[in-house]
Structure 1
Amino acid sequence: MENRRPDTLAGMANGSGSIRRRRLGIELRELRTAKGLTLDEVARRFTWSVSKASRMERGLVPVSPRDVADLVKLYGVDDPDHADALVAMAAASRQRDWWHKFDDLLPRQFSVYLGFEGDAESIHTYQSLLIPGLLQTEAYARAIFRAAQPGETDEQINRRVEARLLRQTIVKNKDAPRLWAILDEAAIRRGVGGRDVMREQLAHLASSSKQPNITIQVIPFRAGAYMSMDGGFIILRFAEAEDPDVVCVDIRTRSLYVDDPAEVRRYTLAHEQLLALAATPDESIKLIEAALEEMR
């Protein structure tokens, strides 16, 4: 492998802790592969578990500068500037982002995802039953968390709502990513939290659709059954070529972060099929407004 220039690596140290860890992991994997070593061999060399070595290369865990220094020696990185740049990337990747104060509530994989989401150029989300988190009102989010976490205290629910609202700031910033949300009509018809909460939520959807960076499309009931109606997912795309697409899938107990190119491609194809089924943005707003009218 041709080593990257240290100044290029320095530029790759920009972004959230998650994106930095991912870029560092890609660098380490390329160096290991060029050296002809397997993950098992690296793990044995440092008495690590293979799982730890794998998580480091996938960017799922912070990597200590000491571990990176040991790895670049093993991989034969003889350019001191290159080695120093990799160690600096490790140090930068250990920064604590805003969501880490909610680590006791958020699944670890979802915390990793939030870092990617914050650096995404575009966010493509599909939900079959609920309004996407980035478009939820405070009252709607609170009703969802109370239903999903019945044993939690008011304080815990309040902190979940706080995290949800902080997350939404990314689509309101000056340099906000493009948000493309596809919803099943069930999501706008389900009476979460009662009529008042849903009226506010539907009005918020209609208002959000007017933002230049947000597109909302609804798959109407008349579309019948379709392939992805059994669960939602989010696809993130990035401006930098070295940052491949990422998919996040929520299940009952945790969030799955997917970056395998073949799996990502399957979700991309599913998203394209959803776009073909969905009503146009203008027709979708009419569906939302009709649902809102029925809530009055």
Structure 2
Amino acid sequence: MTQKRATPSIKRRRVGAQLRQWREAVEMPSGDVARAMGWSQPRFSRVERGYYRIGRDDVLDLCKKIGVDDPKGVEEVARVAEEPAGKGWWASYADKVSEAYLDFVELEAEAETIRIVHPKVIPGLVQSPLYVREMHSRARSNDSESLIAIRLARQEVLSRAKFHGVIPESAFHAEFESSPGLMEDQLRKLIAATKMENVTLQILPLKAHPSIGSNGAMTILTFWHPWTPVASIDNPMGGSHTYDPAQVAYLEAEFERISSAALPVDQSRDLLNEYLEGLHK
């Protein structure tokens, strides 16, 4: 049975946050908006914080009352507001993973672009099935099979989103005694990914200064208008994400610093092929 969420769904929070952003842009007090809608102040506050679901008609009416001049943006927010919570393939895993991780999976599935860097391992969206199983078989979890299934299902997003991943060269030096063919399988997966038009892969070389990319894994997601970018930081509890423009901008600059220190795309592809050839010598 699906467990009850302790926090509002990510869709409701995003809808509420966008409505609040539009309201603040026109400097209209929340009390005035609540009265215009015929709502109480507490109800409107809960809408903006994502605790109270509103539908398409309410979104259109509210945006008209506060004078939002963004037809496409309003239509997009109205569309998402109308969607039921828990919609998507990930809903069946709601009782198996943390809310933070489930929220990230839902955000990732909606992303237009995905940028990711990891200081130690191959990024999850381009991991081979053998690599995924190896990573999660060692994880501290009572349900590694669900985590494996989720990781592999997430990779479907590469069929439509633009992906830019920075991979540490050190990841190719890992040894997997229980699965000797794993690294060959993984390298072939990465080489195949480099041939996808929407995928950009760069290798952070071993000789790069250790301060580059050493502060942890991060993912930056951008979306269709009008949604704001989201940055996510990995941790053992499932990660955390932020919509704060200043924090996202800081992490975007950090990603650019790391990717600038990484090998260009062509050299990265050549290095992948060198490692693959080296396995057969």
Letter in 2 for 1:197: L
**Deviation string for 1:133-158 (max 9, x for gaps)?**
11111111111111122x52xxx222
Contact 1:24–1:90 (8 Å) recurs in 2: no
Q: Does 1:209 align with 2:194?
A: yes
1:157 and 2:148 aligned: no
1:234 and 2:229 are equivalent in the alignment? no
| Aligned pairs for 1:1-296 within 5 A | 18=10, 21-28=13-20, 30-31=22-23, 34-37=27-30, 46=42, 55-56=49-50, 63-65=52-54, 77=65, 90-149=81-140, 152=142, 156-172=143-159, 176-192=160-176, 194-240=179-225, 242-296=226-280
* Structure 2 gaps, min length 5: 1-8, 32-39, 68-74
Q: In terms of mean alpha carbon deviation, does 268-277 or 222-231 score higher?
A: 222-231
The offset of 1:285, in angstroms, is 1.7
Query: In 1, distance between residues paired with 2:110 and 2:64?
Result: 32
- SS of the residue corresponding to residue 223 of structure 1 reads coil
User: Cα 1:141–1:36, aligned 2, differ >3 Å: closer, same or farther?
Assistant: same
Q: Which has the higher helix share?
A: 1
Give the counterpart letter for 2:200 in structure 1: T
TM-score if structure 2 supplies the norm length?
Answer: 0.77
Residues 230-273 of structure 1, C-alpha deviation per residue, up to 9 Å, x if partnerless?
31111112231x21211111111121111100000111111111
**Helix, strand or coil: the match of 2:241?**
strand
Aligned-pair CA distance for 1:19? 5.2
**Within 1, Cα distance between the matches of 2:79 and 2:194?**
41
CA distance 1:24–1:221, shift in 2 (3 Å): same
Pairs aligned (count)? 256
TM-fit CA distance, 1:207: 1.2
Q: What is the CA-CA distance between 1:88 and the residue it aligns to?
A: 7.6
Contact 2:217 2:233 survives alignment (8 Å): yes
Q: 1:22 to 1:196 in 2, by over 3 A?
A: same
SS state of the match for residue 18, structure 2? helix
Extract unaligned runs of 5+ from structure 1.
1-16, 39-43, 80-84
Equivalent position SS for 1:148: coil
Counterpart of 1:14 in structure 2 is none
Q: CA deviation at 1:54?
A: 7.1
CA positional deviation for 1:94: 2.3
Secondary structure (helix, strand or coil) at the match of 2:215 reads: coil
State the AA in 2 paired with 1:103: A
Offset of residue 169 of structure 1: 0.9
Counterpart residue identity of residue 276, structure 2:
L
| Matched residue SS, 2:181 | helix
Output the TM-score relative to the length of structure 1: 0.73
Q: Secondary structure at the match of 1:124?
A: strand
From the superposition, tell whether residues 239 and 53 of structure 1 become closer, same or farther in structure 2 (CA, over 3 Å). Answer: closer
